[in-house]
A and B are shown apart, each in its own frame.
Chain A
Amino acid sequence: MRRALLALGLVAALAGGCGGDDDDTGGASAGGKPQLVVSAASSMTEALTACSKSYPDAELKLQFAGSDELAAQIRQGVKPDVFAAANTRLPDELHSEGLLSKPVVFATNEFVLAVPDDSDITGLDDLEATGVKIAIGSESVPIGEYTRESLARLSPAQEKAILANVRSNEPDVKGIVGKLTQGAADAGFVYVTDVNATDGALKAIELPAELEPNATYGAGVVEGAKEPKPAQAFVDGLVDGECADALKAAGFGAPPG
């Protein structure tokens, strides 16, 4: 009996595995709607997931990671249709390398200090104490760049004291948020939208205006995209369209100007 079951399972696996065609064909789907692959910064996970469900003109396949990783994938020849980053530097670089259409600036985000809801930390001064565990973004990801840019505007002594308490350089904002919600870290620097997405598990502490980096988001159509037209429509819609509304609802700011 056991042998028969094993044989049956093996045959089924072989039939499934060697059976040839995958049903994930890409391009136009059954309903006639084009399929768009969107590579977006982790910080847009909630907002874009919300608007993707009812996006009228295409079926959106969203993938989220640190902007730097998504850009590196594109440089290695991966071709999503849209690249939406948490800064403008990466889209500008890809554009000048001929890998991305002229980027569109579509949103801003507020850079904040995030702490667990019940934390006693009230500001940057509390981060200097010994034993405070801080999680920040790694140098290559936009949130990590913004963090270092912002801390560099403090006095050198305070900057040094805060950086000395950093216990993890996370590959994207979701990693920072996870370390905070799990209590592994006491404080972290993220976007206000990430704090909003935790439904009250974390609270945001605003930073003085002079420390605020300019967190501006840019997006473009990847050169060689399978669906360039709907992709451009999606990018434009990030400025004024369904996804722009979702971004606003998540706490993103309107693009400057």
Chain B
Amino acid sequence: MTSQRHTFWFPALLALSLAAALTFLTVPVAAIFLDSSPSALIDSLGEPGALDALWLSLRTTAISIAIILCVGTPAAYLLATRSFPGKALVVTLVELPLVLPPAVAGIALLAAVGPAGILGGAIEGAGIELALTTAGVVVALTFVASPFYVRQAMAAFAAVDRTLLDASRTLGASEARGFVRVMIPSALPGLAAGTALALVRALGEFGATLMFAGSFQGITQTVPLAIYDRFSTQFDSALALSAVLVAVSAAILLSVKLVVGSEALGGAAR
């Protein structure tokens, strides 16, 4: 009974912490929309450079998400359903780009697949050009965004009730069939959540793109790079592009929460 009296401060502390976090996290984002009039925002979006950046971001993100889904889904399935020696190491390696600073990702890509990198000669020999090209942007986006998807997909596959898969196998279905017919539909909310996270991360990619792919309007200058390029001389235009990026990212996160349930986005914590 006595302990009951002392517990009021704890909920108060929780509420206060949330209020502080919310203020700190939302004020800068809100300022993007408040620091400029809506008409100025729309005007500066009409500028060709801004449209080029939006279109390029859309294209490169779509391609990199397609690659991530095609390769990441089976890979995540394997990691979620098999155990083998060194699995913890493999999972860590796959997740590592998640925690790499963008500049490190840029340097790593240059050192690996840049013209002077360890695989640069082979890539050049195959007639492929990555540095300073749109393909290079896709490589950078895929590198930084894929762990977000693979991690989430692994958790989603691991959470599927294995008796479903076993049942389909006892009925004579091959594993491949079970993967497509049972595992993917069952894991779909988690896969969608992972796709959303990777999508948002790819849209926001900056450092690795700048270092590896450079910055050129219509070729490699994605929205974040266009924002950086405009920040010193065309602040309004930088704000307008930032507003679009924030709105799109928020819409993606929110729609996944609404469609597949908020627990899917928290799945990585399991």
Contacts and interface: CB of A to CB of B under 8 A. Distances in A.
A203 interface: no
Interface in B219-270: 219-221, 228-229, 231-233, 235
A168 B232 contact: no
B132 A184 contact: yes
A99 interface: no
Interface stretch (A31-39, A105-113, A132-140, A152-160): A132-140
Nearest to A178: B211
Interface stretch (B81-89, B110-118, B170-178, B188-196): B110-118
B214 A184 contact: yes
Nearest to B238: A72
Given A169-B229, A171-B228, A184 B215 contact: no
Interface of B is mostly: loop
Nearest to B133: A167
Interface residues of B, number: 25
Contacts of A253: none
B102 interface: no
A71 interface: yes
A170 B235 contact: no
A69 B215 contact: no
Contacts of A166: 216
Given A133-B132, A140-B233, A167-B132, A183 B216 contact: no
Given A66-B232, A183-B120, A168 B110 contact: no
B232 A167 contact: no
A71 B215 CA distance: 21
Interface string B86-118: 000000000000000000000000100011110
Interface centre among B133, B220, B221, B231 (most CB of A within 10 A): B231
B50 interface: no
Interface string A31-69: 000000000000000000000000000000000001011
B153 interface: no
B116 A72 contact: no
A79 interface: no
B214 A168 contact: yes
Interface string A169-183: 111000100110111
A2 B233 CA distance: 52
Nearest to A67: B232
B76 interface: no
A185 interface: yes
A46 to B, nearest CB: 19
25 contacts: A68-B232, A68-B233, A72-B231, A135-B214, A138-B215, A139-B233, A140-B229, A140-B232, A140-B233, A166-B216, A167-B219, A168-B214, A169-B216, A170-B215, A171-B210, A171-B215, A171-B229, A179-B132, A181-B116, A182-B116, A183-B114, A184-B115, A184-B131, A184-B214, A185-B131
Interface of A: 66, 68-69, 71-72, 133, 135, 138-141, 166-171, 175, 178-179, 181-185
Interface of B: 110, 114-117, 120, 131-133, 210-212, 214-217, 219-221, 228-229, 231-233, 235
